[in-house]
A and B are shown apart, each in its own frame.
Chain A
Amino acid sequence: KAGVTQTPRYLIKTRGQQVTLSCSPISGHRSVSWYQQTPGQGLQFLFEYFSETQRNKGNFPGRFSGRQFSNSRSEMNVSTLELGDSALYLCASTPSGVTDTQYFGPGTRLTVL
């Protein structure tokens, strides 16, 4: 089975722009979670989607949003980018949403200039 994939792998944006990141879960996995990883804050939970519904949300401003499609692929969007949004954005998928073993993608490295 193919693993979790994320596109693009690298992005450079300027302040004020917006960005959309994509995540394709392992085939058959219905839950997708997003995490932000930075050297200072570590891995922080952004949100989780299951069957196209956001089921849980972390403590991030409304500039961070996401969605999930009927094929379980997920996108996250960050509007009005700030320098502090520079990070590695990781998504993870789980088989059914009630199991907890999360399989991570390789991440998207976002740099905001």
Chain B
Amino acid sequence: GENVEQHPSTLSVQEGDSAVIKCTYSDSASNYFPWYKQELGKRPQLIIDIRSNVGEKKDQRIAVTLNKTAKHFSLHITETQPEDSAVYFCAASKGQAGTALIFGKGTTLSVSS
């Protein structure tokens, strides 16, 4: 079955710096790759997603890139702010009936001011 590896497990940056989180997946049939942000004690919230027919997607300070050949995708956060501190999860799905998301283990991002 699908396996998603996520790195790093923790990431500390200074406010204003950029942060990059990387994920690799094993199943070449996966075609949908969302990123979720989970603040302490709260539910995961979708922050951005990308589908396999697109190589890059951007939403303000957040961008995701996808390399289908290498089976990896990355989250880029620019101009980080303290409120970006949270756990970030990548996930992969085949996008077919069943909609099972296979998640990475998460990255704890700490942004210090």
The reply on B44 being an interface residue by CB < 8 A is: yes
Q: Please tell me if the beta carbons of B98 and A101 are within 8 angstroms of each other in the complex.
A: no
Task: Give the A-binding residues of B (Cβ under 8 A).
Answer: 1, 32, 34, 36, 42-46, 49, 89, 91, 93, 95-106
Interface SS majority for chain A: strand
User: Which of A31, A42, A44, A58 is within 8 Å of B99, CB to CB?
Assistant: A31
Partner of A48 from B1, B45, B100, B104 at Cβ < 8 Å? B100
Q: Does A102 lie within 8 Å of B99, measured CB to CB?
A: yes
B94 nearest CB neighbor, chain A only: A100
Contacts of A33 in B (CB 8 A): 99-101
Number of A residues, CB within 8 Å of B = 27
Do A102 and B101 touch across chains, with their CB atoms under 8 A apart? yes
Contact assessment for B43 and A104 in the assembled complex, using a CB-CB cutoff below 8 Å:
yes
* Distance in angstroms between the alpha carbons of A90 and B91 in the assembled complex: 15
Check if A63 is an interface residue, CB within 8 A of chain B: no
- Which A residues, 79 to 113, have Cβ-Cβ distances below 8 Å to chain B? 90, 92, 94, 97-107
Given contacts A42-B89, A42-B106, A100 and B43 within 8 Å (CB-CB): no
Which residues of chain A have C-beta atoms less than 8 A from B91's C-beta?
A: 43
Q: 6 closest pairs, A vs B, by CB?
A: A56-B98, A43-B103, A104-B43, A42-B105, A100-B32, A45-B100
Bound form: Cα–Cα A90–B42 in Å = 11
**Distance A54 CA – B95 CA, assembled complex (angstroms):** 17
